[in-house]
Structure 1
Amino acid sequence: MSHRQILQALTGLLAALFTAMLSTTIVANALPTIMADLHGTQTDFAWVVTAALLANAVSTPIWGKLADLFNKKLLVQLSIVIFVAGSVLAGFSHSMELLLTARVIQGLGMGGLTALAQAIIGSIIPPRERGRYSGYMGAVMAVATAGGPLLGGFIVDSPLGWRWTFFLCVPLAVVALFLLQVTLHLQHVRRPARIDWLGSILLTAGVSLLLIWVSFAGKPDYYEWLSWETAAMVGGSVILLALLVLVESKVAEPIIPLKIISERTTALAIVASVAVGIAMFGSTTFLGQYFQLARGFTPTEAGLLMLPMIAGNLLGSVGSGLLITRFGKWKRFLLIGTVMVILGTALAGFINHETDMILVSLFIFILGVGMGLLMQNLVLAVQNTVKVTDVGSASASVAFFRTVGGAIGVSVLGAVLSSSVSRRVTEELDKAGMPTDGGGTIATLDLGGLPEEVQMFFRIAYAEGTADIFKIAAAVAIIALVAVLFIKEKALRRTLDIKPTSSNPVEPGLAGGAEMLHTGAMSAVEPTAVPASGSPASAAAAPDEAPRTDGTEKAGSTRP
């Protein structure tokens, strides 16, 4: 595909991704208001984010497997419809239970867009050229991430109210669906579909049980960290995940292909993705809360204060994408990215309720650059090591573990923040002669109705609790640095698929199609390349089409 054809194919896809990302981030600065309106607690706040991340995580591998088996275009459109349905339901929510249900539906749709966007790019663009287009995707995500909190804050402060932060995505989704229908043309050959439903159930149950345990452990109204409930939940989660590994090693079409994630580059990229997910989602989720509760800014102002981090994200993703395409080197950007994430989170670990906002902006800018360097390039490193027929599953696996890390991060750090705020406020109230009857103080998000003196106690506690979160995130990000250090850099191939070799034979019956896929992609970039077998370097199979099994070329597919 020419540069123009690729851009045309990506137009609708990027529009869909923009819609989903905007609809996700637009609620960031609205959450404190939503929690106050629906009488939610700090735990509820964390679960509004965690519910969407969890649904995103557990559905991403399923979407990735479906992308390898079915028409990617129809799957993208389906994921948009699911996401819009969740957004509309969230807009009409009048209770925390209904809102959490809506967030789960939104997460299912977002999981599809996350997996399918990467899979489609991996299906039509060789890794050497992919950095440039991944940079475009990163730019779209950065703009959506920047515009979301700002737009959400404006809507919350306007007569429209917080419900329109969910409703706004509906017209945008209609436009995205239209653009996808017009611009994205992917041929598809129907293949036998076998979905690993047992693996999906075990995956969902194991991860969910772990997150539920983390969210409620240590809270007075629930159970202690060391209790029979903890033993039951953690033990049950371990058993379920062990059964998952066993099932995945036996089934023909595993939801998480062990042969892929056990490859060195993929395994290390997954470790880094989990650590980055914890550091990134866990720390940045509570930034808007810090600006509003600890510093007293309005939702609109909180959105503006997030711009330095988004600018850094945009710079890191677009800049690294262009440089990787030009020079073909990618590991250095992963190293720089992890170092900057560690530095940004570590510096943010020293903020309080009086820190100069210029310093806060600098800290989150550094964090944003690091995230921009890491997000797309970890996926690129993995896609470079797998066959084109596995690119959906491989991309989804990395996205899955990153999102699981994010869900764990939000749950754990949300629990840490809630406990920290409650403890600090209780201590300050006791010192001021306003005892809490020994029952502790709930980390409320509705400060408006509290006395001024008590409000100040909460603002200081939220600032110090947020600093604690960033310190934990910095420590976790060190794990990502260690993993990246051990990743072995492999030259980015200029072909869509891996060239068959004696050590990497093609499956029987697929030799002709795989050879055509390799030689066609090679001929588009390197006209002089001829495969060792001597077969003519004709056109590649269609990007979303399974290799032909008869070894013949499809009529009309030849390109010069």
Structure 2
Amino acid sequence: MPTESTALPTEPGTETETKAGAGTGTKAEAEAKTGTETGAEASGRMEHRRVIEALTGLLLAMLTAFLSSTIVSNALPTIIRDLHGSQRQYTWVITAALLASTASTPIWGKLSDLVSKKLLVQLAIGVFTAGSVLAGFAQSMDVLIVWRVVQGLGLGGLQSLVVIVIAAMISPRERGRYSGPIAAVMSVATVAGPLLGGVIVDTSWLGWRWCFFVCVPLAVLSALVVQRTLNLPVVRRRVRIDYWGAALITAGVSVLLIWVTLAGSEFAWGSGTSFALAGAGVVLLALAVWVESRVAEPIIPLRLFADRTTALATVAGIAVGTALFGGAVFLGQYFQIARGYSPTAAGLLTLPMIIGSVLSSTLSGILITRLGRWKAFLVVGSALMVAGFGLLGTIDHTTDMVLLGAFLFVLGVGMGMTMQNLVLAVQNTVAPADLGAASSTVAFFRSLGGTVGVSVLGAILAGRVGTLTTQGLADAGIPAGSGGAGIGSLDQLPPAVATIVRTAYGDATATILLVAAVLSIATVVCVAAIREVPLRTQSGTQRLAGERAAV
């Protein structure tokens, strides 16, 4: 679609420097003396100082998003007990936010190709803040799940837009230079979230509600910093939002997730209800594909999948999301319920994974910038993920904690080398006009995999815990009905029964981590099949400006 008008940001001091140079020679000489600042601005290049300033606000927003995602994990057992929830609701507190984030990600991404990225980041922060405040005031599990949906809508925007804006500012080749701070923020949030959540829950005068309230000041601060520092070219064009596509994708994904979450517990997998939900989800998604193939501005442009890198990275992203979200989300539950650690200690026990992620992400980013090559890091990283999950699949309720920490470190190293670089491979390949849509599409399918992973692996865990609990009660000569209470009522069980249930959780966790290892194999296969393309040396904004200049 033709561009109607373009507004490029003006670097402070540029005009003065150019005029000063003009007084001593021609316009060309002036540009030469000022380092061709005017040409640089027109091309969309940002100075290192401007990038750092803008990155500060974006990293604050990213910190807010990741903190809110992880801070709840160690607090959930306490929340479930306080609000008298069940294992299914435990899963849905996480799934609800992931579902909303997943469904909204491609919409945020597509809008970033059409309107101001800065405005969208601020809007996402506002939605997230509102959801956080409301979730903090929830008086029941059902109400909490509803407000987690609102929180997830904002999270979907923050998680996708931050990556998109960074791609617009920084070239793929140079992005490794900034991967250290980005990885540090992600890792600090990942470890600080559970730790902060544990401290809040363990502090009597705070309570679990502050797990939601504590992110609000940080969100407001990030909005203020973004307002001051983030200035990107805005391509003004006639906006055509694919409402039907957005509605059908959201509905289809939601129905399928409801199906995989409830099947096996509320109704049998082979029942009429199961087939009806599965069929409805497939039909809705088929309609979504039909709509996306015909509208002018599809939420998920189908042409993206004609590119081999994007298609394979999408499949790899689904597997990564399923394994990571689905497996890692239950580690806090394992440490607290099966091993009896406090929420704070459970957060500390994830440090090996975080350290491994920070080290591998930072080092691989530096090497990628120097070499201009990325595929080897993706292959090694995805293989280490399989190894890490495979090793974790051998744990039980008595596993030595030092050994468990070593397994987590291996997984963390694989995560650090895989997550960011998978998106980098896609951003390096697609056209600049599709940068937002492509980035959000990969994020969408990764989040979709994560949402499905939490639901499916949660269902597997619940079924396995039930089987092991029944077996343990039978071996101890205790009536089976004595273990019917959920995790929200463990403290009310007789000590002998509670021990059996906790043991069941510890042993059952290995099952879902082993499933995660099997799923991660798909990532290795897809990454190995991706054709490596040397990293570009221009940012998304520069490439887009060059395309406009050539028209």
Structure 2 length normalisation: TM-score?
Answer: 0.89
Aligned residue number for residue 77 of structure 1: 122
Partner of 1:210: 256
Residue in structure 2 matching 1:473, options 516, 534, 539: 516
Task: Name the structure 2 match of 1:132.
Answer: 177
1:65 aligns with one of 77, 102, 110: 110
Preserved CA contact (<8 Å) 1:426 1:441: no
Alignment of structure 1 residues 223-238 onto 2, 5 Å: 223-238=267-282
Which secondary structure does the structure 1 equivalent of 2:284 belong to? helix
CA contact (8 A) 2:485 2:493 kept: no
Question: Any idea what SS the aligned residue of 1:250 has?
Answer: coil
Say whether 1:96 aligns with 2:141: yes
Residue 176 of structure 1 pairs with residue 176 of structure 2: no
- Return the offset for 1:440: 7.8
Structure 1 equivalent of residue 413 of structure 2: 369
SS of the residue 1:448 aligns to: helix
The C-alpha deviation readout for 1:350-400, integer Å capped at 9, x for no partner, is: 111111000111111111111111111010000011122211001000000
> 2-side partners of 1:133 and 1:101: how far apart?
36
Partner residue of 1:255 out of 293, 296, 299 = 299
Please state how far the C-alpha of 1:436 moved relative to its aligned partner: 3.2
Q: Residues 32 and 446 of structure 1 are in contact (CA less than 8 Å); yes or no, is this contact kept in structure 2?
A: no
282-291 vs 207-216, which moves further:
207-216
Shift in Å, 1:430: 2.9
- Work out whether residues 421 and 443 of structure 1, in 8 Å CA contact, stay in contact via their aligned partners in 2: no
The aligned amino acid for 1:273 is: G
Q: Which of 46, 58, 73 is matched with 2:91 structurally?
A: 46
Aligned pairs, number? 505
Kept in 2: contact 1:348–1:470 (CA 8 A):
yes
Q: Which moved more, 1:4-13 or 1:344-353?
A: 4-13
Question: Match of 1:293, SS?
Answer: helix
- Paired letter, 1:399: A
* In 2, Cα distance between equivalents of 1:200 and 1:392: 16
- CA distance in structure 1 between the partners assigned to 2:183 and 2:314 by the alignment: 19
What is the CA–CA distance in structure 1 between the aligned matches of 2:484 and 2:256, rounded to whole Å?
26
- More moved, 281-290 vs 17-26: 17-26
2:53 is the alignment partner of 1:8 = yes
Decide whether aligned partners of structure 1 residues 442 and 409 sit closer, same or farther in structure 2, where only a CA change above 3 A counts. Answer: farther
Q: Shift in Å at residue 548 of structure 1? A: 6.2
1:85-128 deviations in whole A, cap 9, x for unaligned? 11111110111111001111111001101111111111121111
How many angstroms does 1:217 deviate by? 0.9
Mapped to 2, the partners of 1:479 and 1:435 lie a distance apart of 43
SS at match of 1:446: helix
CA deviation map 1:229-269 (0-9, x unaligned): 11101111111111111111111111011111331000000
- Deviation, 1:306, is 1.1
Superposition TM-score, scaled by structure 1 size: 0.88
Query: 1:484 aligns to what?
Result: 527
Give the one of 188, 193, 209 matched to 1:163: 209
Q: 1:456 aligns with which of 465, 486, 499?
A: 499
Superposed CA offset, 1:181-211 (max 9, x none): 1111123132111111111111111111111
Alignment correspondent of 1:196: 242
Query: 1:56-85 CA distances to partner (integer Å, 9 max, x unpaired)?
Result: 111000000110001001110110111011
| Native 8 Å contact 1:425 1:441 kept in 2 | no
Whether the aligned pair in 1 keeps the contact of 2:320 and 2:446 (CA below 8 Å) is yes
Local SS of the residue matching 1:189 = strand
SS in 2 for 1:353: coil
Gaps in structure 2 of 5+ consecutive residues: 1-45
Q: Secondary structure at the match of 1:193?
A: coil
What does residue 441 of structure 1 align with? 484
Structure 2 counterpart of 1:488, one-letter code:
R
CA distance in 2 between partners of 1:282 and 1:57 (Å):
14
Please give the alpha-carbon distance, in whole angstroms, between the structure 2 residues aligned to 1:167 and 1:432: 44
What is the deviation of 1:442? 4.9
Aligned to 2:194: 149
* Contact map agreement 1:64 1:396 (CA 8 A) in 2: yes
Asked if the contact 2:393–2:510 (Cα under 8 Å) also holds between the matched residues in 1, the reply is yes
Alpha-carbon contact 1:131-1:380 (below 8 Å) kept = no
The residue type equivalent to 1:279 in the other structure is: A
Contact 2:65 2:159 in 1 (8 A): no
Structure 2 equivalent of residue 537 of structure 1: none
Structure 1 Cα separation of the partners of residues 432 and 182 of structure 2: 20
**Per the alignment, in what secondary structure is the counterpart of residue 251 of structure 1?**
coil
Whichever residue aligns with residue 498 of structure 2, its letter is Q
Counterpart Cα distance in 2 of 1:302 and 1:339:
26
Question: Is 1:335 paired with 2:379?
Answer: yes
For 2:343 and 2:459, the matched residues in 1 are separated by 23
- 2:233 is the alignment partner of 1:187: yes
- CA deviation map 1:247-306 (0-9, x unaligned): 111111110111113310000001100001011000100000000000000111101111
Unpaired runs of 5+ in structure 1?
A: 498-513, 522-539, 552-560
Could you tell me which residue of structure 1 aligns to residue 548 of structure 2? 547
Query: How big is each residue's C-alpha offset from its partner over 1:327-367, in whole Å with a ceiling of 9 and x where there is no partner?
Result: 11100111011111100000001111111000111111111
Which stretches of structure 1, 4 residues or longer, exceed 6 Å deviation after superposition?
Answer: none
Contact 1:248 1:256 in 2 (8 A): yes
* Structure 2 counterpart of 1:392, from 410, 421, 436: 436
State whether structure 2 residue 67 is matched by structure 1 residue 28.
no
Q: Name the Cα RMSD after superposition.
A: 1.6
Distance in 2, matches of 1:331 and 1:309, equals 22
What is the Cα deviation at residue 137 of structure 1?
A: 1.8
Aligned to 1:285: 329
Other-structure match for 2:362: 318
Paired residues of 2:91 and 2:454 also in contact (CA < 8 A): yes
CA contact (8 A) 2:483 2:501 kept: no
Are the structure 2 counterparts of residues 3 and 54 from structure 1 closer, same or farther at C-alpha, using a change threshold of 3 Å? same
Structure 2 Cα separation of the partners of residues 112 and 328 of structure 1:
29
CA distance in structure 2 between the aligned counterparts of 1:271 and 1:301, rounded to whole angstroms: 35
Q: Could you say which residue in structure 2 is the equivalent of 1:506?
A: none
Would the alpha carbon gap of residues 248 and 442 (structure 1) be closer, same or farther in structure 2, given more than 3 Å must change? farther
Question: For structure 1, which segment, 285-294 or 258-267, has the greater mean C-alpha deviation from structure 2 after superposition?
Answer: 258-267
Q: Identify which range, 16-25 or 159-168, moves more after superposition.
A: 16-25
Q: CA deviation at 1:138?
A: 2.2
- Provide the C-alpha distance between the structure 1 equivalents of 2:306 and 2:276, rounded to a whole number of angstroms: 29
Q: Is the 8 A contact 1:423 1:441 kept in 2?
A: no
State how far apart, in whole Å, the 2-side matches of 1:446 and 1:320 are. 45
Structure with higher helix content: 2
Check if 1:298 corresponds to 2:342: yes
> Does structure 2 conserve the Cα–Cα contact (< 8 Å) formed by 1:337 and 1:370?
yes
